[in-house]
């Protein structure tokens, strides 16, 4: 870079800092209101600008301060030409005081401020105090400030800016005119960076603009400094490959490879992609986040059948559109739920690569839900009196599998792992699970289920498991009147049973019972003895020999 170029380099954020309300990007709801207030001569004594970092709060505060003192307002905007505007623009105005709340948070500084507030502005109409990060002030400082706000001198205006408005006391907020600044949306950020690039004769492609806008997450200032970095790295011709290399970003193509692998049941790809992420040094959590966003994009094309809701660079629009009839909403919902769970697991995992591998493997194994509902429908249509219906059902399943790259057995296995099966037909692991075990943990289960906010769960309190055939659990109710209520909620209870025991159990109730419930006994000991008769020999032995006590108290 030539010497002059280095000298003349001014950070884009500074160079493009708006000098009037009209130039503030993406906050029209704020700037229009303020301009109208000026036109109607309605000046407040205190303003509060709240919102995320880097979206234009301080910039707007400065324009407001300048406008308050401008001698020649144009449609509510400062003229930038009068003496007042010029002295402010060259940072020489004595009437506009900027204070950083983070470094001037102590009471002494606020007291000094209160003193200075008493003096009239030197030349301008108003003395304007801009306090940035106002939430950082101490409680004492807030109290001192409040006294000033209660009786503000005629010529004083406060502008507070904060990223954490909930940390600002309500007594302060209530004395301010509040404006909430928004995150700047993707397209607006892209447009603004493009505008800057054009005016600097820098070529930049849409994919690069998208990367910059996404990375900056709604903060234009961040987008501008990222743009500076990118330009200093790649010069006057910015392309996405260079940015991806420079920032070691995950190449978005990989997400399309994943969704294609799901459609094609390409199980091998799970291992290829995790290897690739590992080798390139990409972050596994970023990868899953990116994948979630990718499926979010697919959902938008499936729902709207067009590209209006995509948050992606337009080079991928065609790719997304091609998915509009390939995924259905049910599949996508399950995929996104699965990925959100995977994300949680990965964050706590020692071996993220392994988790990703298995996670993708499961994801690719997810059956298309249309196929499953078709299957269920066809199975239900089978003649009920068929003497040996199973082989026929299995044949049906085989014939109906749309992608055949993996063996049917493997798919069955995967389905068992992944699907929350609505029907009982697939649960082999239940065999080893006995009535005795269910009984031994029943009171803990009651504790568990009564913690839910569903009132009817309390009707289970005096219940007791009676029989269990490997999947169907018959429970005896102490109070016959509970039967209908619980029966109506059996799917909810089944879900909680699954959460608690980790098995698919299907509950049914028996209402006519002679079981003795706790309320029939005078004390816990008597109750235990009576119920001991219903326990399995093992549990009996544990309770009597080891004098085991119930941990929970009724
Ligand atoms: Zn002016």
> How does pLDDT run across 94-132, given as a tens digit for each residue?
888 888 887 777 777 777 777 777 777 877 889 999 999
Please give the distance, rounded to the nearest whole angstrom, from the Cα atom of residue 126 to the centre of ligand 1: 13
pLDDT (0 to 100) of residue 540: 54
Low-confidence stretches of the chain (pLDDT beneath 50): 1-7, 386-411, 414, 418-431, 513, 515-521, 541-554
Question: Ligand 1 centre and the CA of 80: distance in Å?
Answer: 5
Cβ atoms of 332 and 302 closer than 8 Å: yes
Shared domain for 30 and 174, answered yes or no, is yes
For residues 344 and 273, membership in a common domain is answered with: yes
| Residues 526 and 484 placed together within one structural domain of the fold | yes
Position 173 in a domain: yes
pLDDT at 256: 95
Residues 27 and 144 in one domain: yes
Q: What angle do CA 336, 341, 343 make, to 5 degrees?
A: 95
Instruction: State whether 149 and 236 are in the same domain.
Output: no
Q: How far is the CA of 57 from the centre of ligand 1 (A)?
A: 20
Q: How far is the CA of 259 from the centre of ligand 1 (A)?
A: 57
140 occurs within a structural domain: yes
Centroid of ligand 1 to alpha carbon of 128 (angstroms) = 15
- Domain co-membership, 219 together with 191: yes
Q: Are residues 123 and 148 in the same domain?
A: yes
Condensed to tens digits (0 to 9), the pLDDT of residues 488-505 reads: 888 888 888 888 888 888
pLDDT, residue 477, reads 85
- Whether 550 maps to a domain, the answer reads no
Q: 81: domain range?
A: 12-180
141 domain residue, yes or no: yes
- Find the 445 Cα to ligand 1 centroid distance in Å: 73
Please indicate, yes or no, if residue 416 is contained in any of the structural domains.
yes
User: What is the 454 CA–ligand 1 centroid distance (Å)?
Assistant: 65
Predicted confidence at residue 552, as pLDDT, reads 42
Q: What is the number of domains present in the chain?
A: 5
Residue 229 lies in a domain: yes
CA 93 to ligand 1 centroid distance, Å: 12
The pair of structure tokens assigned to 435 is 């009535």
**Gap from CA of 74 to ligand 1 centroid (Å):** 8
Residues 379 and 311 in one domain: no
Please identify, among 365, 380, 410, the residue that sits at the C-terminal boundary of a domain. Answer: 365
Gap from CA of 68 to ligand 1 centroid (Å): 9
Residues 270 and 213 in one domain: no
Give residue 79 CA to ligand 1 midpoint distance, Å.
4
- What separation in Å is there between the alpha carbon of 81 and the centre of ligand 1? 5
> In Å, what is the CA distance from 435 to each residue of 188, 432, 470, 505?
63, 10, 9, 11
Query: Are residues 407 and 456 part of one domain?
Result: no
**Pair (22, 139) in one structural domain:** yes
C-alpha 33 – ligand 1 centre gap (Å): 19
CA–centroid distance, 77 to ligand 1, in Å, is 8
Three-state secondary structure of 190-252: HHHHHHHHHHCCCEECHHHHHHHHHHHCCCHHHHHHHHHHHHHHHCCEECHHHHHHHCCCCCC
Considering the domain architecture, whether residues 357 and 454 belong to the same structural domain is answered as: no
* Gap from CA of 89 to ligand 1 centroid (Å): 10
Q: pLDDT at position 418, please?
A: 47
CATH number of the domain at 242, please: 1.10.8.60
């Amino acid at each position: 870079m030539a010497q002059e170029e280095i000298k003349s380099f001014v950070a884009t954020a500074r160079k493009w800092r708006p000098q009037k309300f009209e130039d503030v990007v993406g906050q029209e709801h704020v700037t229009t209101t303020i301009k109208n207030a000026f036109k109607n001569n309605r000046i407040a004594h205190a303003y509060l600008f709240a919102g995320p970092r880097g979206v234009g709060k301080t910039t707007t505060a400065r324009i407001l301060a300048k406008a308050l003192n401008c001698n020649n307002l144009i449609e509510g905007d400062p003229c930038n030409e009068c003496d007042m505007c010029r002295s402010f623009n060259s940072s020489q105005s004595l009437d506009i005081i900027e204070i950083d709340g983070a470094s001037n948070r102590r009471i002494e500084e606020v007291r000094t401020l209160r003193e200075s507030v008493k003096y009239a502005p030197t030349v301008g109409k108003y003395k304007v105090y801009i306090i940035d990060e106002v939430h950082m002030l101490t409680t004492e400082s807030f109290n001192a400030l409040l006294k000033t706000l209660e009786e503000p001198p005629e010529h004083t205006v406060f502008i507070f800016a904060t990223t954490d408005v909930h940390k600002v006391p309500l007594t302060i907020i209530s004395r301010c005119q509040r404006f909430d600044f928004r995150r700047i949306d993707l397209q607006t950020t892209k447009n603004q960076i493009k505008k800057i690039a054009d005016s600097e004769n820098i070529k930049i492609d849409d994919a690069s603009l998208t990367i910059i806008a996404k990375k900056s997450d709604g903060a234009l200032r961040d987008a501008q400094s990222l743009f500076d970095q990118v330009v200093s790295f790649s010069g006057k011709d910015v392309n996405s490959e260079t940015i991806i290399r420079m920032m070691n970003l995950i190449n978005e193509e990989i997400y399309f490879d994943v969704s294609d692998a799901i459609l094609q049941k390409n199980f091998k790809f799970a291992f290829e992609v995790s290897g690739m992420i590992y080798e390139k040094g990409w972050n596994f959590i970023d990868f899953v986040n990116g994948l979630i966003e990718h499926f979010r994009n697919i959902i938008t094309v499936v729902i709207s059948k067009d590209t209006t809701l995509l948050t992606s660079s337009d080079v991928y629009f065609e790719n997304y559109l091609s998915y509009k009839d390939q995924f259905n909403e049910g599949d996508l919902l399950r995929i996104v739920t699965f990925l959100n769970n995977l994300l949680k697991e990965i964050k706590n995992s020692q071996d993220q690569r392994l988790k990703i591998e298995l996670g993708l493997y499961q994801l690719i194994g997810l059956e298309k839900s249309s196929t499953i509902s078709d299957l269920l429908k066809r199975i239900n249509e089978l003649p009920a009196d068929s003497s040996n219906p199973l082989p026929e059902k299995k044949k049906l399943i085989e014939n109906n599998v749309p992608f055949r790259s993996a063996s049917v057995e493997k798919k069955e296995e995967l389905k068992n792992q992944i699907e929350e099966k609505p029907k009982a037909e697939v649960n082999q692991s239940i065999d080893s699970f006995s009535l005795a075990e269910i009984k031994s943990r029943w009171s803990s289960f009651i504790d568990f289920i009564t913690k839910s906010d569903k009132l009817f769960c309390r009707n289970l309190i005096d219940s007791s498991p009676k029989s269990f055939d490997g999947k169907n659990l018959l429970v005896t109710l102490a109070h016959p009147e509970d039967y209908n209520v619980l029966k109506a909620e059996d799917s909810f209870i089944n879900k909680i049973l699954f959460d608690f025991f980790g098995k698919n159990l299907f509950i049914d109730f028996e209402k006519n019972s002679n079981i003795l419930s706790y309320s029939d006994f005078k004390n816990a000991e008597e109750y235990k003895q009576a119920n001991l008769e219903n326990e399995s020999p093992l549990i009996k032995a544990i309770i009597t020999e080891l004098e085991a006590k119930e941990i929970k108290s009724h």
